[in-house]
Amino acid sequence: MSSLTYSLLVMSAPLGHQAPYTAEQFCRAAIARGHRIFRVFFYHDGVYNALSTAVPPQDAAQLPAGWRELRERHDIALTVCIASALKKGVVDAGEAKRYELDAVTLDSHFEIAGLGDWIEATQVSDRILTFAR
């Protein structure tokens, strides 16, 4: 079996639905089988996965740590839709400064970008998967 390149669209909040956990586990399983994850794009409520201020309950999946590890070990692009992020208060240093906000709430392992990055992912990936409720 040849290696495939995947990109994922995550549209659910981390504690609101099973979808983000399933997406993270899919990444791990695909990598273990020799496949590549090009990009995970967080859209709509999925942008909450990128909050640096989230502290999941001890008995819940530790998704923030899981996404960070995937980024560090496998160089997976974790991209957050700028329009969705701004609506939900997920901002990087540039957006915080632009809108004169007091805090940066985007985890440093994620990057804010536009839908063009998602379009690029659909063009370079062999398979596209959507994780939503």
- Our count of domains for the chain comes to 1
Q: Is 131 helix (H, G, I), strand (E, B) or coil?
A: strand
Convert the pLDDT of each residue in 68-125 to its tens digit.
Answer: 999 999 999 999 999 999 999 999 999 999 999 999 999 999 999 999 999 999 999 9
Which of 13, 23, 70, 81 does the annotation list as catalytic? 81
pTM comes to 0.95
Residue 108 domain boundaries = 5-131
**Residue 81 is among the residues annotated as catalytic for this protein:** yes
CATH number, domain at 73?
3.40.1260.10
Say if residues 128 and 121 touch (Cβ distance below 8 Å): yes
Convert the pLDDT of each residue in 22-79 to its tens digit.
Answer: 999 999 999 999 999 999 999 999 999 999 988 877 877 778 889 999 999 999 999 9
One DSSP character per residue, 3-46 reads: --EEEEEE-S-TTT-SHHHHHHHHHHHHHHTT-EEEEEEE-GGG
Query: Residue 1's pLDDT band (boundaries 50, 70, 90)?
Result: low
